[in-house]
Structure 1
Amino acid sequence: MSAALHLAKPDDLDRLTALVAAFHAEQGIDQTDAAREAGLAPLLEGIPHGAAYLIGPARAPIGYVIVTFGWSVEFGGMDAFIDELYLRRAVRRRGIATEVLISLPKALGDAGVKGLHLEVDREDEAAQRLYARAGFRARERYMLMSRKL
């Protein structure tokens, strides 16, 4: 099974939407299809604030990763946030997510990104181990805080 990343394009909206809906169902994220598509379509059309990648064969992807971009004085320039990472259940635990989490930072670094962040459930030890294997570390003095607008 390949962890190849393919930048998603407008023609991929239906494939990506189905994968995102599956992830949201697993995570208990309540969102309408219209809201989901409104969040995805600009990424596929080239908005500069983020990108969506399909994982695996472009015509039959096995997952996706969405990256958003920001700016960090602390990190010395552009930084990125893994907003969502999902693999179909049938292909999990085969090292694919680890491959993605190792290849994605290399590609982003080559494009000038200085730091890559992600959010993980404090109680999901398996996910924490996965991210640690890929070089992510908890920032002891910091925690993510959010405000919905």
Structure 2
Amino acid sequence: MSAALTLAAPDHLDRLDALVAAFHAEAGIALPAEQRRAGLAPLLDGIPHGAAYLIGPPRAPIGYVIVTFGWSVEFGGMDGFIDEIFVRPGVRGRGIASEALLSLPRALAAAGIKALHLEVARDNATAQRLYARAGFRPRENAFLMTRKF
């Protein structure tokens, strides 16, 4: 099974939305369908703030990854943050997420991205191992903090 990445376009909205809904249900994220679709649609329309990639064949994707973009003086330019990554439960454990995470930086570097970040639960050792295999490392003396509005 291939973890090829396809930049999602407007005609992929229904397929992507179904995958995002599955991830949100699994992760316990309660979000009305209209709000979820409103958050996805601009990414597929090409806004400069982020991108959504389908994992696997675009007609029947097996997962997705969403990256948002920012700017970092420390890293010398545009950086990215993996907002969400999901692989269908039935195909997990086959290296698909690892392959996607290894090919994503190559695609983003070509667009000028200097660094890629992600958030992982402190108690999720499985995800931490996955991200470490893909080259992600914890930043010493730093951790993510959030303020909601």
The TM-score bracket by the shorter chain reads: over 0.9
User: Given residue 28 of structure 1, which amino acid in structure 2 is its aligned partner?
Assistant: G
CA distance in 1, matches of 2:79, 2:18: 28
User: Given residue 143 of structure 1, which amino acid in structure 2 is its aligned partner?
Assistant: F
Task: Please give the residue correspondences for 1:90-129 in structure 2 after superposition, counting only pairs within 5 Å.
Answer: 90-129=90-129
CA distance in 1, matches of 2:111, 2:18: 29
Say if 2:49 is the partner of 1:31: no
How many residue pairs end up in the alignment? 149
TM-aligned CA deviation for residue 148 of structure 1: 1.3
TM-aligned CA deviation for residue 140 of structure 1: 1.8
TM-aligned CA deviation for residue 109 of structure 1: 1.1
Map of 2:87 onto structure 1? 87
Structure 2, unaligned runs of 5 or more: none
TM-aligned CA deviation for residue 111 of structure 1: 1.4
TM-score by length of 1: 0.99
Map of 1:57 onto structure 2? 57
SS of equivalent to 1:142: coil
CA distance in 2, matches of 1:107, 1:8: 14
CA deviations on 1:22-50 (whole Å, 9 max, x unpaired) are 00000000100000001000000000000
| Superposed CA RMSD | 0.5
Structure 1, unaligned runs of 5 or more: none
Identity of aligned residues (%): 73
Map of 2:66 onto structure 1? 66
CA distance in 2, matches of 1:96, 1:16: 17
